[in-house]
């Protein structure tokens, strides 16, 4: 219980007290607090147990880099995991809880793991749980239960998320001194500017510093600039917006948090908005993150970044401790010490790594009466649940080891500063490689590869005057690159550079060797220690990317914002190579975690994908149809009557089609209208068979191949007029076929005069099949002669149906006499209702896709995509007769390649199970022997399989190696449930002429002989 609320100061509103809970305990803070500052003010020390060793952890930072205070907020459907307390604005009623530690983070019994830590080196899990491989499924349960950083909500996300596409001239990322200065300059030029900052308030580091601009507190300047920007019509200000990704061609992604800072009752509207932004120019003013120092027990609650201490004192009016020590290798330690002293915190001393500190800050500290331990370090921190004291020691002249021990200083707060690391994340994501600046001991932005520039602390400029200047220059240059001229301005006066150089200190020497001393944490979130890094190098992982993966350095949700650069410094030192050579690991999006909700936006639930309904969809719904998805289409699969199983319904639908008449919604079939004098040439080139002799009014079935010779699509194409054809494709293949044809026409056959129009949605088609189909269709299309003589199989006629221009085609996919009536889509529902009404006396029965599949399989008609898989040639399907030898077409040359000529290729055959009632599962693998040593060689698989009512037993189609030469032989299908079904190979035709070679759909045999009974069955046909 060390932190407390200061009596005055800070940018909080002490008149607005906000109650919240932490692990169920009621607490209170003020408007303007973050959850972190409020927790400190309430004396909370431990906010987490560490990932691997279960050590107690406290708040370390005040921004995006926080590794420990990762909490679960809210409950129920709106609970939010992995939330950084340091960036969570406090609101009334907020409930927060810790996520690890058992039974709680305060009292964690699994902390025994820390004592056992010698047994848990880097790579422990890789090395230990490797054997036996089958054991992992047992270990995994235990390991997973102990891991994790939060809980996903049990219910569907209750919030809405928006998405916006935007363009701008200049995007300024970060609204600190540099970003505000850049936005102002670009804004005055008239350019379209977006200024985004992850915080609720603009001002960045100025909000946490006791600094003056133009002689007044810097907040005055911030307010003035903000007001000026807000008044500019072309400027968009986005607070609470994190730019988390920088992609190709200056495409950036932002997530704007709209309601997380509000109590539940006020959180109205979308929770977050994802901005997909294309910026002509980008100014990166993302600031810098302070580095901690790596020393023994540097993870004790109470060890905090010096800049965070200043932030809590100056911005939030809270003291993170009562008695502090500062440990730094640069002047920021003095700044923080003075901030604390002003706030009334007892500062026991400043431990400065540098042997001979000097300069304005050092002198100011001396003048304030602060004790300075120059050339000293803190090798070890003491205390269990909270820091109690630190040991100090004098460094050797070469700074490589410690010499004699200095005084032990009692303290409950240690402010550490190891220097600054510019936030080069976005710049690196843009493709640039950060460069190591030896003088400033940090990575700075490398040469830009996209239209961006960095300014201020993001490029290693620490002083406010420098940030204002660089921001202004960047804003002017970015606007100018977009063609806007910024007026000359006078920059405000601010603190100029007055800091002395830092002394790099990647790993603080300890009293004992690294491997035996107290743990020196590099990455708090993943419990990666300096000893782990040394171990990785000893085990010969010398590339930084390998070290990272072996030790999990930077693998946490904080992506190593605090620890990575220190880790690289330690690796470089150990390898004896310059840090510039070791380099950085890759910075990847997202900068901070982004919710799935923001990425999904409105594309969830019913809006995840488009669904396509046919014009008569409502009728199917009203009739209780069960639907299946075919691409985006919803197709009626079968129409169960009350109490009917699927098989009973399908049998009934099949038999009704067989004995009377079945009605199918065929509207989803792909339809391409082909116009032009070269239309037939196009057909000749894309279909395997001949088209030149097809007469007007006639139809033909065609196979379409890919250039590699494999069947790609099939369908019936009709010749409507001299230069006018209507091609049909499979339902699922329609878009692909259209795209392929367009591509050939635009890229290879640019001389052909032919136009393609996709008319799939323009027509509604009702297929009427069965012995009474001619009677029924004749009642609807009275102006056309449907007689066998006037309208032979595979012909099409223009006519009138339900009062509108229609087409009727006599084709068959069921084997039954069939007519397909098509009308403009708007009349589809009317046509369907008219067919059903007129069909009542013929026993017309609606049938779905399942019955259609059964009927066509009985006739051996393939479905491309079900019986083929992109590795099947026409000959494999027994359709070599459809392949012309007199012309060239797409895929023909490939058919001549030796592999496609082999006789033992996988070929389409029929299968009849020994047990007529047994239905093979589709996809079942086939073998030659029922059992034997595993693995049994696979000789093929089942592609279609049904219980067939018309045949009176089960039937199946399969692809079998050399299948056509194996007619009559037996194969076996071992099933997952242990059964083995035996089946006999047959020709893939089960009806009318079983045992005959299969026919294609243009054959006369494709349509069954006319066998209309004298009298239509009375009423509906039942199975």
Partner 1 sequence: MLQLECPWCGPRDEEEFTYGGEAHITRPPEPDAVSDAAWGDYLFFHTNTRGLQSEQWCHSHGCRRWFNVARDTVTYRIHRVYRMGEPRPGFDA
345-355 burial, b for 16+ CB within 10 Å, e for fewer?
Answer: bebbbbbbbbe
Using rule CB under 8 A, residue 750 touches partner 1: yes
Q: CA 393, 394, 397 angle in degrees (round to 5)?
A: 150
State the nearest-atom distance from the C-beta of 746 to partner 1, in Å: 4
State the nearest-atom distance from the C-beta of 270 to partner 1, in Å: 22
Q: What is the rounded CA–CA span in Å between residue 620 and residue 960?
A: 38
Of the pair 265, 750, the CB lying nearest partner 1 is at 750
- CB neighbours of residue 128 within 10 Å: 11
| Beta carbons of 1022 and 829 less than 8 angstroms apart | no
Of the pair 434, 460, the CB lying nearest partner 1 is at 434
Which residues, other chains included, contact 432 with Cβ-Cβ below 8 Å and sequence gap of 6+? Answer: 445, 446, 447, 448, 449, 450
Of the pair 641, 893, the CB lying nearest partner 1 is at 893
Closest listed residue to residue 709, CA positions, set 842, 889, 473: 889
State the nearest-atom distance from the C-beta of 679 to partner 1, in Å: 19
Using rule CB under 8 A, residue 264 touches partner 1: no
Of the pair 265, 746, the CB lying nearest partner 1 is at 746
Q: What is the rounded CA–CA span in Å between residue 961 and residue 940?
A: 6
Q: Which stretch, 400-408, 636-644, 712-720, 741-749, contacts partner 1 (CB under 8 A)?
A: 741-749
Structure tokens of 27? 């607490």
State the nearest-atom distance from the C-beta of 173 to partner 1, in Å: 18
Of the pair 449, 607, the CB lying nearest partner 1 is at 449
Q: Which of residues 309-328 bind partner 1 (CB under 8 A)?
A: none
Three-class SS state of 747: helix
Q: Which of 403, 485, 498, 748 binds partner 1 (CB under 8 A)?
A: 748
State the nearest-atom distance from the C-beta of 238 to partner 1, in Å: 20
| Beta carbons of 505 and 329 less than 8 angstroms apart | yes
Using rule CB under 8 A, residue 431 touches partner 1: yes
Q: Which of residues 865-924 bind partner 1 (CB under 8 A)?
A: 888, 892-894, 896-898
State the nearest-atom distance from the C-beta of 256 to partner 1, in Å: 19
Q: Which of 127, 743, 996, 1012 binds partner 1 (CB under 8 A)?
A: 743
Of the pair 438, 901, the CB lying nearest partner 1 is at 901
Distances (CA, A) of 66 to 48, 88, 94, 523, 839: 12, 11, 20, 11, 73
Of the pair 210, 451, the CB lying nearest partner 1 is at 451
Of the pair 403, 603, the CB lying nearest partner 1 is at 603
Helix or strand (DSSP H, E) at 956: strand 953-961
Q: Which of residues 406-425 bind partner 1 (CB under 8 A)?
A: none
Q: Which of 137, 249, 886, 902 binds partner 1 (CB under 8 A)?
A: 249
State the nearest-atom distance from the C-beta of 892 to partner 1, in Å: 7
Q: Which stretch, 640-648, 743-751, 775-783, 805-813, contacts partner 1 (CB under 8 A)?
A: 743-751
DSSP 632: T
Of the pair 97, 280, the CB lying nearest partner 1 is at 280
State the nearest-atom distance from the C-beta of 739 to partner 1, in Å: 7
Q: How many residues bind partner 1 (CB under 8 A)?
A: 24
State the nearest-atom distance from the C-beta of 276 to partner 1, in Å: 8
Q: Which of 129, 151, 247, 511 binds partner 1 (CB under 8 A)?
A: 247
Q: Which of residues 440-499 bind partner 1 (CB under 8 A)?
A: 449
State the nearest-atom distance from the C-beta of 137 to partner 1, in Å: 40
In sequence order, the β-bridge partners of residue 765 are 822
Using rule CB under 8 A, residue 608 touches partner 1: no
Q: Which of 163, 261, 278, 612 binds partner 1 (CB under 8 A)?
A: 278
State the nearest-atom distance from the C-beta of 897 to partner 1, in Å: 5
Using rule CB under 8 A, residue 164 touches partner 1: no
State the nearest-atom distance from the C-beta of 889 to partner 1, in Å: 10
Q: What is the rounded CA–CA span in Å between residue 926 and residue 984?
A: 11
Q: What is the pattern of x (binds partner 1, CB under 8 A) and - over residues 649-668?
A: --------------------
Q: Which stretch, 62-70, 544-552, 738-746, 992-1000, contacts partner 1 (CB under 8 A)?
A: 738-746
Q: What is the rounded CA–CA span in Å between residue 883 and residue 649?
A: 38
Structure tokens of 933? 């040593």
| Beta carbons of 169 and 212 less than 8 angstroms apart | no
| Beta carbons of 638 and 722 less than 8 angstroms apart | no
Q: Which stretch, 232-240, 475-483, 618-626, 742-750, contacts partner 1 (CB under 8 A)?
A: 742-750
Q: Which stretch, 249-257, 260-268, 522-530, 559-567, contacts partner 1 (CB under 8 A)?
A: 249-257
State the nearest-atom distance from the C-beta of 893 to partner 1, in Å: 4
Structure tokens of 637? 């699969």
| Beta carbons of 586 and 429 less than 8 angstroms apart | no
State the nearest-atom distance from the C-beta of 180 to partner 1, in Å: 29
Closest listed residue to residue 664, CA positions, set 691, 689, 635, 685: 635
Closest listed residue to residue 1003, CA positions, set 880, 882, 857: 882
Of the pair 431, 583, the CB lying nearest partner 1 is at 431
| Beta carbons of 832 and 665 less than 8 angstroms apart | yes
Helix/strand/coil percent split, the chain, to 5: 25, 30, 45
State the nearest-atom distance from the C-beta of 3 to partner 1, in Å: 45
Of the pair 192, 391, the CB lying nearest partner 1 is at 192
Q: Which of 145, 747, 937, 1011 binds partner 1 (CB under 8 A)?
A: 747
Q: Which of 8, 265, 746, 885 binds partner 1 (CB under 8 A)?
A: 746
Of the pair 129, 247, the CB lying nearest partner 1 is at 247
Q: What is the rounded CA–CA span in Å between residue 322 and residue 341?
A: 11
Of the pair 141, 249, the CB lying nearest partner 1 is at 249
Which residues, other chains included, contact 447 with Cβ-Cβ below 8 Å and sequence gap of 6+? Answer: 432
State the nearest-atom distance from the C-beta of 246 to partner 1, in Å: 11
State the nearest-atom distance from the C-beta of 236 to partner 1, in Å: 20
State the nearest-atom distance from the C-beta of 284 to partner 1, in Å: 19
Of the pair 8, 885, the CB lying nearest partner 1 is at 885
In the block, residue with structure tokens 């050797």:
396
Q: Transcribe 794-854 into DSSP letters.
A: SEEEEEEETTEEEEEEE--SSSS-EEEEEEEGGGHHHHHHHHHHHHGGGTEEE--HHHHHH
577-583, long-range: CB < 8 A, 24+ apart: 578/436, 578/438, 579/436, 579/438, 580/435, 580/436, 580/438, 582/544, 583/433, 583/436, 583/544
Closest listed residue to residue 991, CA positions, set 928, 932, 940, 949: 949
Q: What is the rounded CA–CA span in Å between residue 522 and residue 508?
A: 11
Q: What is the rounded CA–CA span in Å between residue 979 and residue 956?
A: 17
DSSP 521: E
Q: Which of residues 690-729 bind partner 1 (CB under 8 A)?
A: 707-708
Dihedral over Cα of 458, 461, 463, 465: its sign: negative
Of the pair 358, 871, the CB lying nearest partner 1 is at 871
Q: Which of 251, 511, 555, 941 binds partner 1 (CB under 8 A)?
A: 251
Query: Given the rule CB under 8 A, which residues bind partner 1?
Result: 247-251, 278, 431, 449, 707-708, 739, 742-743, 746-748, 750, 888, 892-894, 896-898
């Amino acid at each position: 219980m060390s932190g407390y609320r200061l009596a005055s100061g800070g940018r909080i509103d002490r008149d607005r007290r906000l109650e919240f809970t932490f692990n169920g305990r009621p607490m209170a803070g003020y408007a303007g607090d973050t959850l972190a500052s409020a927790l400190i003010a309430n004396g909370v020390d431990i906010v987490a147990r560490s990932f691997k060793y279960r050590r107690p952890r406290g708040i370390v930072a005040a921004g995006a880099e926080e590794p420990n205070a990762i909490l679960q907020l809210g409950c129920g459907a709106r609970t939010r995991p992995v939330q950084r307390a340091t960036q969570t604005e406090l609101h009334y009623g907020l409930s927060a809880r810790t996520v690890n530690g058992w039974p709680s983070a305060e009292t964690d019994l699994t902390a025994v793991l820390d004592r056992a830590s010698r047994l848990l080196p880097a790579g422990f899990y890789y090395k230990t749980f490797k054997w036996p491989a089958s054991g992992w499924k047992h270990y995994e349960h235990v390991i997973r239960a102990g891991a994790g950083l939060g809980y996903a909500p049990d219910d569907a996300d209750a919030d809405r998320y928006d998405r916006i596409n935007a363009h701008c001239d200049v995007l300024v990322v970060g609204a600190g001194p540099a970003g505000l200065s850049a936005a102002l300059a670009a804004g005055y030029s008239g350019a379209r500017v977006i200024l985004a900052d992850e915080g609720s308030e603009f001002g960045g580091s100025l909000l946490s510093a006791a600094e003056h601009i133009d002689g007044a507190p810097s907040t005055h300047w911030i307010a003035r600039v903000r007001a000026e920007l807000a008044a500019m019509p072309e400027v968009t200000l986005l607070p609470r917006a994190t730019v988390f990704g920088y992609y190709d061609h200056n495409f950036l992604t932002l997530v704007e948090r709209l309601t997380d800072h509000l109590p539940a009752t006020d959180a109205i509207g979308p929770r977050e908005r994802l901005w997909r932004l294309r910026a002509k120019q980008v100014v990166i003013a993302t600031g810098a993150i302070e580095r901690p120092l790596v020393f023994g027990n540097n993870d004790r609650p109470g060890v905090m970044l010096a800049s965070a201490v200043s932030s809590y004192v100056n911005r939030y009016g809270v003291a993170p401790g009562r008695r502090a020590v500062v440990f730094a290798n640069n002047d920021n330690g003095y700044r923080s010490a003075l901030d604390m002293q002003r706030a009334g915190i007892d500062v026991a001393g400043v431990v400065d790594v540098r042997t001979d500190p000097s300069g304005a800050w050092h002198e100011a500290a001396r003048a304030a009466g602060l004790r300075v331990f120059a050339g000293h370090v803190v090798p070890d921190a003491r205390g269990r649940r909270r820091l109690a004291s630190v040991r100090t020691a004098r460094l050797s002249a070469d700074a490589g080891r410690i010499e004699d021990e200095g005084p032990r200083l009692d303290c409950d707060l240690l402010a550490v500063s190891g220097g600054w690391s510019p936030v080069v994340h976005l710049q690196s994501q843009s493709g640039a490689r950060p460069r190591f600046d030896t003088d400033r001991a940090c990575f700075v932005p490398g040469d830009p590869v996209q239209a961006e520039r960095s300014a201020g602390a993001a490029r290693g400029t620490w002083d406010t005057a420098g940030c204002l200047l660089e921001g202004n220059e960047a804003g002017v240059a970015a606007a100018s690159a977009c063609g806007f001229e910024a007026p000359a301005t006078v920059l405000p006066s601010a603190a100029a550079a007055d800091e002395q150089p830092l002394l790099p200190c990647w790993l603080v020497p300890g009293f004992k060797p690294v491997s035996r001393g107290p743990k020196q944490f590099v990455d708090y979130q993943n419990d990666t220690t300096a000893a782990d890094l040394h171990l990785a190098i000893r085990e010969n992982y010398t590339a930084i990317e390998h070290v990272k993966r072996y030790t999990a350095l930077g693998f946490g949700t904080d992506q190593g914002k605090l620890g990575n650069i220190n880790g690289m410094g330690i690796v470089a030192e150990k390898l004896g190579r310059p840090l510039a050579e070791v380099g950085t690991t890759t910075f990847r999006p997202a900068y901070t975690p982004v919710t799935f909700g923001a990425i999904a936006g409105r594309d969830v639930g019913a809006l995840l994908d488009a669904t396509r309904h046919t014009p008569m969809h409502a009728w199917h719904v009203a009739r209780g149809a069960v639907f299946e998805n075919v691409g985006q289409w919803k197709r009626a699969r079968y129409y169960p009557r009350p109490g009917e199983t699927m098989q009973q319904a399908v049998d009934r639908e099949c038999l009704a089609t067989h004995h009377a008449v079945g009605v199918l919604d065929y509207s989803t079939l792909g339809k391409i209208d082909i116009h032009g004098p070269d239309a037939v040439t196009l057909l000749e080139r894309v279909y395997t068979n001949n088209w030149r002799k097809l007469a007007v009014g006639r139809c033909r079935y065609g196979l379409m191949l890919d250039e590699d010779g494999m069947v790609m699509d099939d369908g019936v194409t009709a010749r409507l007029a001299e230069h006018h054809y209507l091609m049909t494709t499979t339902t699922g293949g329609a878009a692909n076929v259209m795209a392929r044809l367009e591509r050939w026409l635009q890229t290879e056959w640019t001389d052909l005069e032919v136009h393609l129009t996709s008319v799939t949605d323009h027509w509604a088609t009702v297929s009427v099949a069965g012995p009474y189909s001619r009677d029924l269709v004749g009642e609807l299309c009275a102006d056309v002669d449907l007689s066998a003589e006037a309208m032979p199989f595979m012909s099409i006629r223009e006519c009138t149906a339900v009062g509108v221009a229609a087409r009727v085609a006599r084709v068959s996919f069921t084997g039954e006499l069939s007519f397909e009536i098509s009308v403009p889509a708007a009349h589809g529902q009317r046509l369907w209702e008219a067919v059903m009404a007129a069909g009542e006396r013929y026993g017309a029965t609606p049938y779905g896709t399942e019955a259609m599949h059964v009927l066509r399989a009985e006739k051996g008609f393939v479905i491309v995509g079900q019986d083929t898989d992109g590795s099947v040639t026409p000959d494999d399907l027994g359709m070599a007769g459809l392949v012309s030898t007199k012309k060239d077409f797409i895929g023909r040359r490939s058919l001549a390649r030796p592999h496609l000529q082999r006789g033992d290729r996988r070929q389409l055959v029929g299968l009849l199970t020994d047990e007529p009632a047994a239905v093979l599962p589709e996809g079942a693998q086939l073998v030659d022997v029922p059992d034997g040593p595993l693995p049994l060689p696979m000789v093929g698989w089942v592609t279609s399989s049904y219980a067939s009512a018309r045949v009176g037993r089960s039937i199946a189609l399969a692809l079998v190696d050399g299948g056509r030469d194996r007619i009559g032989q037996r194969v076996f299908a071992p099933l997952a449930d242990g059964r083995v079904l035996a089946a006999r190979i047959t020709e893939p035709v089960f009806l009318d002429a079983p045992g005959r070679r299969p026919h294609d759909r243009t054959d006369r045999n494709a349509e069954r002989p006319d066998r209309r009974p004298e009298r239509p069955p009375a009423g509906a046909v039942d199975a």
